[in-house]
Every structure is written in structure tokens, then in C-alpha cells.
Structure 1
Amino acid sequence: MKRYLLASAGGAGLLWVLCGLLPVKALSIVERTDTNLSPEADGSSYQEIDVHDSNAANNVASKLIIADATNQDQTNEDLDNNSAANSSPSITAQSQNSSQPSKALDQVTSVSQLSDVQPTDWAFQALQSLVERYGCIAGYPNSTYRGNRAMTRYEFAAGLNACLERVNELIATATTDLVKKEDLATLQKLQEQFSAELATLRGRVDSLEARTAELEANQFSTTTKLNGEAIIAAVGASGGAPGTSDPNIMLVNRVRLNLTTSFTGKDLLITGLQAHNFLGGATGEGSLQNSLGLASPILSSSSARTSFEPQFPGLNVKDLSSVSANSLQLYKLLYIFPVSNKLTLFAGTAAETSDAFPTITPFYGEGQESISRFASLNPVLRVSGGTSGSGLASAAGFIFNISPNLDFRALYGSVNANLPAKSAAEALPGVSTTPLGSGLFSGSNVIAAQLTFKPSRSIDIGLNYSHSYHEINILGTGLISGDIGALAGVAAGTPVTLNSVGGTVTWQFSPKIAFSGYGAALFVDDSSNNVNAATTFTSWMVGVHFRDLFNAGNTAGIIFGQPLFRADASGAAVLTPAGENRATPYHLEAYYRFKVSDNISITPGAFVLFNPEGNSRNETTTVGVLRTTFTF
């Protein structure tokens, strides 16, 4: 018996190497557990490739982008890679993330399962013997064998080890008649020749098992992963409204911790915590845009905002209570679960529209990509606080995968679902201290939908529609000062209805260059019986995104467009508010993110506002940002 055990890697291994037959089950284990176990001849090792690093390094976070539960076999870890790099995890499966690394090899029981192995092949009988007699051969998930692929000595040792274990099993179960003497003699010779590689492989496996045991013993949860992002940025600006002085350079921060939990392996519970030191409150006092004189008189909505600034800093907009700087907040609570191969549902009490809808544009990434609020998302996604940065809405919806290149998503969101009754007190004439109303199905709400499709490998398109009702006269985007008082000349307490349409397109011109742009139109009508007023807002953006610019992992963007602007007004609504000179606003932005390490990046950038807030009286304004992002 001792002799058999010493020789137990088998004629299976010999035939395998003589016939040039490559994959074995042990190799798949090596590839999945430790890339360093299978180095290539040139010293490189297997590694997964992030095919959409720009968005991955962004959204939630990031950015962690979460793959659809029904498409988990086709997407990379958008809720892990992107969540560490992304400020907030998302249930979005970016259509660009279609190219994926090979999965683990699957055991086969018959040679007929391998589509690229034919009975006429010179190695067919040898492979048939290995599969059906010894059972130590595996194929790829697409039922191919790839027998012509070159291999390393480490890979051969891994396969030899697998066959050794199989022969040991045969001997232990008294089926030694299946093992020929000739095979055992050959195996003994092979084992002697590869003794060094086998010892190295076993030593590495033992080390890996010890490390795995230590991780399992010290992990805080068997179902939950923790990742986070910390942003520290210096922000300065010049220009602004007439009579204002340039604000001082300020130092701001935002920290997010994201817990992603799976109970079945296909579902996902996202819990996000954040703290930041942005100021604003009900009057916008202490914000950069307020110091420039470009903010709305209520809140701090403005085109001078950075991408990583919450929409309502220093304020709980539901009841107008104050929120102190760096206080801990729950900004994300969302559960995603599949109900069939094509249908996934999601629901949560702290959610945003961008959690469910693919952003399409590569400029999205609050901690990694564009530095302005304008450049990163289509305004239709931001309507009704859809990207407030504080998980403003309670929402529920679905993702329907029509085909691999086409899906439809929709959600209903209520920003006041946790309020049982509307306050009787008034903050302003006609505006209560619960300005968004109360209840899940009353007061302010939004119904949003997106059709996402990929007509070719290089083009991604997203079409958006949103229908909103607001208890007060706002857009809820946070993009311009006219966001507050959307119907200019109409009282702040006037309820409004919004119908918003938009589209976003990205063309991957080359592996490292992408062209992207969006267009949007927001149609605002009063919903009261007291006035008759309507206003149309339009916005567009075009840009070029560079990847691996000057060095691997570095990205850059150049963006130009028109922020939201009143294109039309009728009835009691005014096209140009009193005291303004109407002029079309423009936005020009450039940034460069360079990767210091896998977990640290620095992004210097600036954006210039021409005719800020659509008023030529305002000076051309420049906002400069130096952003450092830590992901973990």
C-alpha cells in the first residue's frame, strides 16, 4: 500500500502531459484562491480585470456599483470594487461591464461534455480515459477544454496533484483494479521528477489554508462585507455675484462606511453610514456658493457645487431641523433580491434614483471622477432629490432584464414616508415646517423609469423619464439657484408637477478614450387651482473621458455644457426673475485623477461658470478643487 501511495498521481497525470491536455480541477482552485499559486512563465500571475474602472472607482459608492442580482454571473464585483472606490454602493449593473474573467473550471463526467474535443482528435482516447476512469479532468463553464493552451510547471503540478488525490481515493475504496501497474510506475517516476513543485504547491496550499482559517476566525460577520471611502478636499473660488468678495479656501471632508450583506448569495442588503462637514442649513449660510452670492435665498442650491457635496447640507429637509457638521447619518438602506432570472426587486427607506439606474456616463464618481455636480449625472436623475446624497427617499422598484443588452427599470419614491401628518406651523407663508408633506402616498413623490440598452460593444444609451409632484415650488435637483422657485414669480408654497425627459450616451471610441453626453428637458406646471403657470428648463453636456492617461489607473475628463436654464415660461410664471439680465449659462470643466496607490487617489481640477445662474450680471466664476480620496 505504501508503494501505491508514493506513486499515487497517476498514469492520468502522465497521459495528461503527453497528450498536451491542460485543465484540471485543481487548477481552478488555485486560480480562485491565490493568484500567486499559478505564475506564468514570465513571472506574471492571474488576476481579474476591472473592465470599467472609471465608474467602478466611483459610485458606491461607487462606485461599489452593485450588479443586478439576476446578472451576478455576468458582472464584476460592482458592489465591492465600486463600493470601495464608489462613495455609495449601487444596484446598478453597468452595461460596459460585460467582459468578465473566466470562471472556475467545472468537473466533467464524460468527454462528450467538452464541445471542442472530437472523436477524431489524436488525444481523444487519452482524454476519455482520464475523464471516465479517473475523473480528474475539468472543463470551462462554456463546455470547452482548450487543450492547445500552453501551461506552466506549476499548473502541471496542480493537475498532477489532483490526479494523485483521485488515485488515492480509488485505492482507499478498494477499486485498485482501475489503476494499471504501468500507470502507477509512470506516476511514481513523474512524482519524483516533480517532487519540488509538488512540495512547493502543498506548502503554499497549507499556508493559504492557515490564512483562510485566521480570516474566518477574526471576521466580524460571515454574511457582511465592510468597505468605505474618505474624501478630504480643498476648495477655493473666485468671481460670483456683483459686490461679493472671493471666499477663503476651505477644507471639507466626507466619510462613508458601506455594509453589504447577502443572506442567500443572490440578494443584497446595503447599509450606508456617512459624516461630512459641509455647511448650509435653511439659509445656505457657510456654504461656498452662498459666499459667492450664487445660491438660492433658501437652502444652498447653485451651479457652483462640487460633486461630493450633499444637496441639503446642515439640514433635514423633511422637517427643517438642523444637522450639525460631522454628525453620523444613515444615508443608505436598501434591499435587492431576485424573483426570477429576468426580474429583480428592490426596496428601502433610504435610497436614491442613481442606486437603481445605470449612470452611463464615465464622469460619474463623487470621489474619483468629475469634481462638479453638473457633469456627473443627467439632471433627470436628480429631480425630486433623486441624488440628495443623504438617502432622502423611501423607494421601491424593479429591474427587468429584457435581453443581455436591454433592460428596463422603474421606481416609486416618497421623500416624506416617515412623517404621519403635515405640520400646521409655517416656515414661510404657505410653506409648513414639513414642506414636502407627509405619508407614503401623499405629499411629494416621484415615479422614475430608465430604459438602458447597448446597441454595440462600444455604445451605451440610457433614456429617462420622471414624473414628480412637489408640495412646494422647487425642482429638487440642487443644480442651480433657480431650483428653488422653479416657477419664477409664483409663491414658494405653490405645489408643482414635473414631467422630465432625458437621454445619456457614451461612445467608447477606443479602449482609453470615451465620448459622453446628455440632454434633458424639465417641464414644470403648477398643481394648484389658484394660478396658471408653466416653465421649461433645458440642459446638455458633452465631454471626453481619458483612461490610463500618462500612467495606468489615471483618468481625466474635459467637459462642456449648459446647466439648467429657463427656456420658456407661460401664464403667471416669469422667464427672467426681477433684477437679472437673462443670458445662457455655460460650464467648462477639466480634471485629472492620478492614482497614488490602489487605495489612494488625488484629483486636481477646476470648473468655470460663464453667466452663472443664467444672469450676465454675475461675474465669470472659477471653482478649483484638490480632492484626495481614500478607499478601504
Structure 2
Amino acid sequence: MMSKYLLASASGMGFLCLIAGLSPVQALPSLEIADENVAVNQNDGSYQKNDFNQSNLAKNISSKLLIANENQKKFSSVKQQQNNQDLGVDSAVTYKQPVIPQSINSSPSSDKLAQVTSVSQLSDVQPTDWAFQALQSLVERYGCIAGYPNQTYRGNRAMTRYEFAAGLNACLERINELIATATGDLVKKEDLAALQKLQEQFAAELSTLRGRVDAVEARTAELEVNQFSTTTKLNGEVIIAGVGATGGAPNDSDPNIILVNRVRLNLTTSFTGKDSLITGLQAYNFLGGADGQGSLQQSLGLASPLLSSSSARTSFEPQFPGLNVNTLSSVGANSVQLYKLLYIFPVANKLTLFAGTAAETSDAFPAITPFYGEGQESISRFAGLNPVLRVSGGTSGTGLASAAGFIYSISPNLDLRALYGSVNANLPQKSADEVLPGVSTTPLGGGLFSGSSVVAAQLTFKPSPDLDIGLNYANSYHEINILGTGLISGDVGALAGVEAGTPVKLNSFGGTVTWRLSPKIALSGYGAALFVDAASNSVNASTTFTSWMAGVHFRDLFKSGNTAGILFGQPLFRSDTGGSAQLTPTGENRATPYHLEAYYRLQVSDNISITPGAFVLFNPEGNSNNETTTVGVLRTTFTF
């Protein structure tokens, strides 16, 4: 720094503090210290303020120099800048070859100083001296050091005020040279004239830009004042779809084409930057109610007589449309509901917890399959998720369960997730009123731990960048005889031939795999087995349901952003029964059901997509008496 090396002179490297106590100056020029902080030019070309305040030396120097005669001859190369301008100087520069005036205590004429070109010429300067590097730089880089004729420097000798003044004068001369060299051609008169001319020529454009900038600043200020929230983000999805179908149960006429909608608004709030509070509002115009009246599935004759469960259901349709299943009360079309309320927060590096009163297993468990996306991908409820995830209303579309659980990241390629969910956690006790034998107006029971509930877990791992695998298990208890998936009409009355009010226990196992053959093509499929047993001591019955699906998913098909899917599989089907449970319900002709689906999503813009598609049901609901059924969908999705 300059404050370190400015002290070097022909008589040695001294400290300014030695000057403060010397005798008064008799013939020194007036020198004002403009600023204690001198601007120093760094090696990288930048400028910064240098603290020139070692033991207040600058103040002491200024006070002693100002008592000198104002009329003495000023240093020829030092001109103080008006307005106290800072001086740019290389951190290693002091001064060059000085002419030292004869001081009061000067050495004899034989001690006159002589210029040296290398520090090695000074016999009394050794590489071990603390100032050796500074002297070497001043001699060899700047030629600012003079030695005595006997090749000595006498670095430990105190310097006089005359020697300091001469050295300072030479140093400032060097500073002026550096400034002149750096800024002499910086701005020319011709350049200023050209700039002024350009300003005049583009005055209108500059005025327009100034106005636009002012308008942007005003709008920005307004947005800041009226912004929704600094911690909450709003996003939404609007689905409008036309749905038509043919086939269904014998002797039933084809239903009319219907136009349906579903609107969701999601508020995501973060308080720490790592947590998320998700609040979701929903409205839809699907109909159904407790007996399925008004639903497309009921018109086809493929819905269960209670709760309208069916294999003909679309992906974006709630499991219990038009019904609050907790109390069997009706829900009006397009009435606003709270379908999501979930808080997710990390508690450790690898552990995240979540809890909420309106949640679904799909909120915590990765879907694995690329066909999942109620508003963007597959058009059927069958294709989107493994049936094990849907058990006990796990993906009801209305956030049916109150749930709590954890996500534990075992490694970057392996994590374990689990939850406990209760459907009627907000009801203190089960209603005594009955709508069917053993079925009350609160058919799923009451209480956090005494009603219908589910414990579910998923192990997700990624053995390679192109392979995703998810393994699922769910243990469920239901107050009534249902699966709670909404996937087939046999969901209600899972133990065929057993009373609807019989409680059941379910052990469900499933696996989902996705293999990306290339960035644009993926193979995906799942398999599931649901084991249902009567949970009543008075009933001995059991049934096994199985299901599988396989398909091909395409990305950027024909155009970037477009996706498509072709898939085939078997919906849930009774593969085995035990005890008093029937394998084939009365009046049905048992046959294995199959599902074939194809869809193509066109990404019209960043916020709009259109998905035409259709799925075909062979032996719908496992009954060959039913006609092959085709459901066509034209879905338009708006996101914001």
C-alpha cells in the first residue's frame, strides 16, 4: 500500500512518526493534506480508498507543514487538486531519483547520493531485511532509490525534513506522470462534440425511453404495494371437457354427450423457504350423489348402486361426485370446496414431515408412471395411478382423508414414505341412524383412530437414471364393505354376497415401473393385488382383487411439448374368494375385463393444452353381459 512505501527516501525507509518530534521547519512550502484517505490504484485496475491514518500521522504532518512560510517556493511537480480530488497511484510507487537539498544535519559532500539500478548494489541491504522487497521494487521497477557513493543505503539512519520534502516532491511528480499517462487521451473535445450531436439527434427517442422507464417504475411501485403476498404463490387449473360414451349394460340406451368442468385454485405458502403450506379450493359440476343419479356411469348402467363407483370414470372426476361421503350429504354443482390442506416441512437433512386435514396419498407418494396427470395426461382413472394408492379414498379427488406422515431420503436414489390417514377424523362419534343394515349416515365411522383408516407406505428407488421403481403397501380398515378405490362397480360390496355393513380389512400390495428407452419414449406399467377379509367375528369371507397395466408414453411427439400415450391392462378383478364371499355376483357372467386407451395432448401454448382421447372397456366390470364400452373425451386444460 502507498502508506507503507511512501516513506522510502534516499537516506532510508523511515516512519512518518519520527518526523513529528523534530525541530520546526524554517523553509518548507505549504502543503495541505486534502484527505486522510488516498485513492489507491490496485493491481487489477480498480480504485479504493486507502486508510492513511497510521497513528494519525497524516494529521500530524499537516499541522506541522502548515506552519511553514506560505510564500516559499512550492514544489514544482505538486499541484493540489481543487475539490480535494483523489490521486490514483500504483501501490508500489514512491518516487524516482531525487535531488536532496542540503539539510541542517546533512552529511559531508562525500556522502552525496548516487542512483542505483539494482538493490544488490547496496552493500548494507540484505535479503533478510524487513524492507528488502520494498526497496527492490522501488529500485528495479521505478528507479526511485539513490545510494551513497560507498555503495551503502544506511536504511537505519533517521531522515531529515529536507530529505522527506524532496522525496515527497519526487513521488508526487511520479503520480502526476501516471495520471497524465492514464487520462491524457481519455476524453477529447471532438468526442464531446459528437456526443452532444447524438443527444440532439435522438432527443425524441431519449424522451420516449425516459417516459417508458418512468411508467415501468410507477407500475412496479403499484405492484409492490398491491401484491398478493410475499410468502404465498397462487396457481390454478381449469378443465373443460366434453365426454361421450356408447355401450354399457344391455338394454340401456347410449347417454348424451355431456360438458363438464373442474376448477382448482392452489395457494402455496412458505414461511422458511423450505416448508410448504398447500391450500386448495375446488369446484366442479359432475353429478352422482349417493345413488349415482345424473352421472355418465349410471346412464351406462356400469355404476354401483351406491356411491357410483365405475370403470368408466374419467381421470379428472372426483371419486364421490356430488356427495360428502363423510355424512352422505349432497354437494351442489360448482360449489366451492376445500379439497387440499397440507403442511410439508423438513425437520432434518434427510427427513421431511407432512400433515393435513385434506390430503391424498398422491401428495406424498411419487406416481412413478408418466401417465399420471388428471388435467394433462391419461384421460381415465384406471391409467393414472397404481390401485394401491387409491385404496381407502387415497386419491378421491376431494382430499378425503386427514393424514400425517414422513418422507425419509435414505440416499439420493432411495427414499421411504409412509402415512396414516383417517377419513372421518373430524367426527367425534359414529351416527346411530342407519340407511342400510349396519350402514349409518356416517358410513366411514368417526374419530381419528376409531373410524375407517389406512396406513400406507412407498419405497421409491432409482437404480439407474433411466429406471424408476415404486413399491407400495397399504393396510386399511373400513367400517363398511368397500375397497374405497372408485375404480370398478365391485368396489362397493367388495366381499360379494356379504352385507354392506360388514367391516373389512385390506392388505394391498403394488409395484410400478417406468423405463425410459430414450428422452422421448418410456415404457411404464404397474401390478397390484388387494386382499380383503371380513373384520367381523360373525362373518368368514375373503376376496382377492388383481390388476395390471402396461403402456408406452411419448414426449415431444410431432411437436415440442406434445405428449401421447397408448396403454392396455386389466382393471381390478376378483381372482379368488374364500368363505361366504362369492366369486361371481348373482346375475353376472364372469369374464376378465380389459382396458385399452389412447390419447394425444396438444400443447397449444404455455398455458393451454387440448387432449383428445378415448378408452375402450372389454367385458366392463368383469361381466360379459355388458357390451363393449367406448368413452371419448375432448379435454381442454388451462393453467395459470
Whether TM exceeds 0.5 here: the answer is yes
1:592 maps to which residue?
600
What code does the residue aligned with 2:472 have?
N
Q: Match for 1:369 among 364, 377, 388?
A: 377
8 Å CA contact retained: 2:240, 2:259: yes
1:511 alignment partner in structure 2: 519
Note the aligned Cα RMSD (angstroms): 2.9
Residue 185 of structure 1 deviates from its aligned partner by 5.3
Match of 1:288 among 296, 301, 309: 296
Which of 256, 270, 276 in structure 2 is aligned with 1:262? 270
Q: Report deviation, 1:265.
A: 1.0
- For 1:220 and 1:396, the matched residues in 2 are separated by 29
1:415 equivalenced with 2:431 (yes/no): no
For residues 618 and 85 of structure 2, what CA distance do their matches in structure 1 show? 81
Alpha-carbon offset, residue 435 of structure 1? 0.5
* 3-state secondary structure, aligned to 1:630: strand
> How far apart in 2 are the matches of 1:443 and 1:388?
17
2:583 aligns to what?
575
Question: 1:432: which partner in 2?
Answer: 440
Q: 1:606 to 1:130 in 2, by over 3 A?
A: farther
Which letter does structure 1 place at the counterpart of 2:336? L
Match of 2:504 among 462, 482, 496: 496
Letter in 1 for 2:367: T
Amino acid at match of 1:581: N
Q: CA deviation at 1:184?
A: 6.5
Partner of 1:255, secondary structure, is strand
Asked if 1:337 corresponds to 2:323, the answer is no
Q: Secondary structure at the match of 1:603?
A: strand
2:406 counterpart of 1:404: no
**1:216 Cα deviation after fit:** 2.0
Name the CA shift for 1:213/1:619 in 2 (closer, same or farther; >3 Å): same
Q: Is contact 1:410–1:450 with CA below 8 Å preserved after alignment?
A: yes
Q: Which residue does 1:621 correspond to in 2?
A: 629
1:350 maps to a residue whose letter is: A
Aligned residue pairs total 464
Q: C-alpha displacement at 1:133, in angstroms?
A: 9.2
Per-residue deviation, 1:402: 1.0
Is 1:307 the counterpart of 2:315? The answer is yes
User: What SS does the aligned partner of 1:237 have?
Assistant: strand
Q: Which residue of 1 is the match for residue 485 of structure 2? A: 477
Counterpart amino acid of 2:379?
Answer: I
The alignment partner of 1:493 has SS state of coil
1:225 to 222, 229, 233: 233
TM-score, length of structure 1 as denominator length? 0.69
212 and 515 in structure 1: CA distance in 2 versus 1, 3 angstrom threshold: farther
Instruction: Give the AA of the match of 1:521.
Output: A
Q: Map Cα deviations across residues 603-629 of structure 1 (whole Å, 9 max, x no partner).
A: 000000000000011000000000011
Q: Report 1:64-143 matches (<5 A).
A: none
TM-superposed CA distance for 1:292, in Å, is 0.4
The aligned counterpart of 1:69 is none
Letter in 2 for 1:383: V
Partner of 1:557: 565
Return closer, same or farther for 1:303/1:216 CA change in 2, 3 Å cut-off.
Answer: same
Extract unaligned runs of 5+ from structure 2.
Answer: 1-41, 49-83, 92-177, 199-204
Deviation per residue, 1:150-202 (Å, 9 max, x gap): xxxxxxxxxxxxxxxxxxxxxx998966789699659969xx9xx99xx99x9
- The whole-number CA distance in structure 2 between the counterparts of 1:524 and 1:399 is 28
Distance 1:325 1:132, change over 3 A: same
Residue type at the aligned position of 2:585: P
**Contact 1:384–1:445 (8 Å) recurs in 2:** yes
Report whether the alignment pairs 1:467 with 2:475. yes
Q: CA deviation at 1:338?
A: 0.8
Aligned to 1:391: 399
Q: Distance in 1 between matches of 2:552 and 2:221?
A: 47
CA separation of 1:621 and 1:211: change in aligned 2, threshold 3 A: same
Q: Is residue 2:457 matched to residue 1:449? A: yes
Query: SS of 2:236's equivalent?
Result: strand
> How far apart in 2 are the matches of 1:574 and 1:332?
38
Q: CA deviation at 1:524?
A: 0.4
Higher Cα radius of gyration? 2
- The CA distance in 1 between the partners of 2:43 and 2:255, in whole Å, is 79
Post-superposition offset of 1:333 = 0.3
Per the TM alignment, residue 129 of structure 1 is displaced from its structure 2 partner at its CA by 6.2
Partner of 1:534: 542
Q: In 1, Cα distance between the equivalents of 2:581 and 2:372? A: 33
Give the one of 521, 525, 530 matched to 2:533.
525
Q: Is contact 2:88–2:179 with CA below 8 Å preserved after alignment? A: no
Paired residue for 1:354?
A: 362
Distance 1:375 1:298 in 2: 23
1:91-130 Cα distance to aligned partner (Å, 9 max, x none): xxxxxxxxxxxxxxxxxxxxxxxxxxxxxxxxxxxxx965
Residue 557 of structure 2 aligns to a residue in which SS?
coil
Specify whether residues 213 and 376 from structure 1 end up closer, same or farther in structure 2 by C-alpha distance, changes over 3 A only: same
Q: Look up the equivalent residue of 1:539 and give its one-letter code.
A: S
Q: Does 1:610 align with 2:635?
A: no
Contact 1:533 1:570 in 2 (8 A): yes
| Alpha-carbon spacing, 1:457–1:429, altered in 2? closer, same or farther (3 Å) | same
**CA separation in 2, counterparts of 1:485 and 1:439?**
24
How far residue 215 of structure 1 moved from its aligned partner, in angstroms, is: 3.0
Q: CA, structure 1 residues 616+218, in 2 after alignment: closer, same or farther (shift >3 Å)?
A: same
Aligned 8 A contact 1:258 1:272 in 2: yes
Shift of 1:218: 2.5
**Residues 47 and 88 in structure 2, CA contact (< 8 A), matched pair in contact too:** no
The CA deviation at 1:511 is 1.0
2: CA distance between counterparts of 1:505 and 1:625?
27
Question: Tell me, what secondary structure is at the counterpart of 1:348?
Answer: strand
C-alpha distance 421-131 of structure 1, shift in aligned 2 (>3 A): farther
Please tell me whether the aligned partners of residues 133 and 178 of structure 1 are also in contact (alpha carbons under 8 angstroms): no
- Taking the aligned partners of 2:345 and 2:550, their CA distance within structure 1 comes to 35
| Alpha-carbon distance, 1:408 to partner | 0.7
Q: Distance in 1 between matches of 2:540 and 2:184?
A: 92
Distance 2:487 2:339 in 1: 20
SS of alignment partner, residue 453 of structure 1: strand
Residue in structure 1 matched with residue 78 of structure 2 by the alignment = none
Superposed displacement of residue 340, structure 1? 1.2
Q: Structure 1 CA distance, aligned partners of 2:259 and 2:463? A: 44
Q: Distance in 2 between matches of 1:384 and 1:557?
A: 28
Sequence identity, in percent? 80
The one-letter code of the counterpart of 1:348 is G
Q: Find the aligned partners of 1:312 and 1:582 in 2 and give their Cα distance.
A: 26
Distance 1:208 1:427, change over 3 A: same
Deviations 1:394-428 (A, max 9, x none): 00011111111111111000000000111000010
Unaligned 5+ segments in structure 1 are 1-127, 135-171
Shift in Å, 1:307: 0.2
Query: Is the contact between residue 504 and residue 533 of structure 2 (CA under 8 Å) also seen in structure 1?
Result: yes
- Paired residue type of 1:598: D
Query: Residues 237-272 of structure 1: CA distance to partner in whole angstroms, max 9, x if unpaired?
Result: 000011101000000000000111111111111000
Q: Render the CA deviation track for 1:435-461: whole Å, top value 9, x for unaligned.
A: 000000111000011111111111111
